[in-house]
Amino acid sequence: MEIEDHLFKKGESVSHLSCPKNTVKFAPGQPDTIIIHYTAGKSGESSAKYLCRKKVKASAHIVLDRSGHIYQLVPFDTVTWHAGKSSYEGRSGFNKFSIGIEIDNAGVLEKVGNKYKSWFGKTYPEEEVMQAVHRNESASRFWHTYTEVQIDKTIEMIEALMDRYPTITNILGHEEISKGRKQDPGPAFPLDKVRNGFLESREEELPMSDDYEGIVDVPRLNIREMPSGSADLAAAPLEGGTKLKVLQQHNGWLKVETKIEGWVAGQYVDIK
């Protein structure tokens, strides 16, 4: 999946919607988290259009329908309103830290006779229902299942996002940042499995020890906010011979610490 101008490239499986109510850009270093949701709505298209309505005080970057079609509502450099009241590991208000992915799924279902009914009255066949205990609850309930293509597409989107935005280091469910208030994406979504897959592959890129050091091997070396040649400069260029502590590596770039932190092109650093 390609990201261009902070949008998944338009195509057969990606449409762009206009959602001009969201105008605030993320602060430097953000977003650092992807939040997974379910829509609890009738269809992906209807949820996407609803979230774009001017008067609706909610939005998201992405709505993924059950066939795997992606609706992008807002570019990834812009804050959306998907998290609401939220906190996790000492931080609150996750809209300003995160990309919101909404997946078309009815959520909790109630068994009525031999049918399973959503809060909005639509019924679902048994093949689309699973019984499971939510991570924040103790008794089992009925949940609308996700389609295979939805899970595959979510993984593809996360992969593309983490590649394009190296600031992203975590994937959380709405149920984890708004405990008690929210149940999405719920036990039908393999959140832990998806998250662990990405976090493990990310860790393999990290240096093995803390005292990984280097020296600037060219007369002057640009230090940037992000691991990209087009990213803003973080400070004046580093002088040749400057000692660096290497914190992280990504696609040939090194995150280093001197008096400040920033990213430098790895080939100009002599690693000890």
| Helix locations, 112-173, DSSP H | 148-164
> What's the min distance (Å) between Cβ of 37 and Zn ion?
3
> What's the min distance (Å) between Cβ of 99 and Zn ion?
13
Q: Which stretch binds Zn ion (CB under 5 A): 66-74, 107-115, 182-190, 219-227?
A: 182-190
Identify residue 235 by its one-letter amino acid code.
A
Residue with tokens 């059950």: 66
Of 222, 63, 89, give the one whose Cα is nearest residue 150: 63
Q: For the window 131-170, what string marks contact with Zn ion as x by the rule CB under 5 A?
A: ----------------------------------------
CA 3 – CA 229 distance, rounded (Å): 17
SS3 for 142? strand
Active site residue 137: no
Count H helices and E strands in the chain, helices first.
Answer: 4, 22
User: Using alpha carbons only, what angle is made at residue 8 by residues 188 and 51, rounded to the nearest 5 degrees?
Assistant: 60
> What's the min distance (Å) between Cβ of 119 and Zn ion?
14
For residue 245, give both structure tokens.
Answer: 């502590």
Q: Which is nearer to Zn ion, 48 or 221 (CB)?
A: 48
Size of the site for Zn ion (CB under 5 A): 3
CA 146 – CA 142 distance, rounded (Å): 13
Residue of 61, 69, 141, 174 interacting with Zn ion (CB under 5 A)? 174
CA 177 – CA 94 distance, rounded (Å): 8
Residue of 51, 184, 224, 250 interacting with Zn ion (CB under 5 A)? 184
Q: Which stretch binds Zn ion (CB under 5 A): 115-123, 176-184, 220-228, 242-250?
A: 176-184
Of 54, 48, 8, 6, give the one whose Cα is nearest residue 30: 6
For residue 256, give both structure tokens.
Answer: 């280093």
> What's the min distance (Å) between Cβ of 184 and Zn ion?
4
Residue of 31, 37, 158, 221 interacting with Zn ion (CB under 5 A)? 37
Q: Which is nearer to Zn ion, 69 or 174 (CB)?
A: 174
Residues present in the chain in total: 272
User: Which member of 2, 4, 45, 102 is catalytic?
Assistant: 102
> What's the min distance (Å) between Cβ of 12 and Zn ion?
27
Question: Does residue 104 interact with Zn ion by CB under 5 A?
Answer: no
Q: Which is nearer to Zn ion, 37 or 144 (CB)?
A: 37
- The residues carrying an active-site annotation are 102
Binding site for Zn ion (CB under 5 A): 37, 174, 184
